[in-house]
Amino acid sequence: DAKTTQPNSMESNEEEPVHLPCNHSTISGTDYIHWYRQLPSQGPEYVIHGLTSNVNNRMASLAIAEDRKSSTLILHRATLRDAAVYYCILLDGNTGKLIFGQGTTLQVKP
Amino acid sequence: ETGVTQTPRHLVMGMTNKKSLKCEQHLGHNAMYWYKQSAKKPLELMFVYNFKEQTENNSVPSRFSPECPNSSHLFLHLHTLQPEDSALYLCASSQTQGQNYGYTFGSGTRLTVV
């Protein structure tokens, strides 16, 4: 399974943008880049995913490097409710397995 | 409410007990998954079912026995567990396995083995 590398933790101020980085240098052509987040005492929640092009949805934006070896999840205006563990995961389009790493714990300060 | 419902939310059981965890989804998904999340550790994929057939067993001890009677329901039968099996057990579903679909997770069952 392809691996991702994320910082253990990050801090942000409320109402400011947050850029969460992820490195995936061993990504293969069939791997999709998925982001999930897990709030305290809840199961993970799907945030966004992409293959090659940048993606936007109501929750966030995903910027993917041209060589696909890294990506960045962008929260445009962080709120206190965005404090969570954010997971960057490569999903193999053939096996469909979602394998979690340690993720990045995001703290949002008021 | 995510669309994936897990019951019970909390469970305390003795090492000699037999209990079952239940997962239910009415999202029209055909793949269902069991994950285990222990304290300070990443989620571990345990079992995968696709169209009611088990397609993955990640070397899970036999004291955990999954059952998938139809695409909407998934069970995890537990017997003679150990204290180290205490964890959050999460169920998830997706449109199907092997495709680029997002997963929908339930809120989990917090299991304590005493």
Q: What is the pLDDT along chain B (114 residues), one digit of tens a residue?
A: 679 999 999 999 999 999 999 999 999 999 999 999 998 888 999 999 999 999 999 999 999 999 999 999 999 999 999 999 999 999 999 998 877 788 999 999 999 999
Cβ neighbours of B104 in A, within 8 Å: 46
Mutation site, B27, B36, B43, interface A, largest A CB count within 10 A: B43
Asked if A91 lies within 8 A of B100 by C-beta distance, the reply is yes
Q: For residue B90, give both structure tokens.
A: 């999460």
Quote the minimal CA–CA distance from B98 to chain A in Å. 4
Query: What is the spatial order of strands in the sheet that B64-70 belongs to?
Result: B4-7, B18-25, B73-79, B64-70
Residue type for position A62: L
DSSP notation for B29-62: --EEEEEEE-TTS--EEEEEEETTEEEEE-S--T
DSSP A57: -
Q: Which of A49, A100, A102 sits opposite B102 (nearest CB)?
A: A49
Report the C-alpha gap between A85 and B37 in whole angstroms: 13
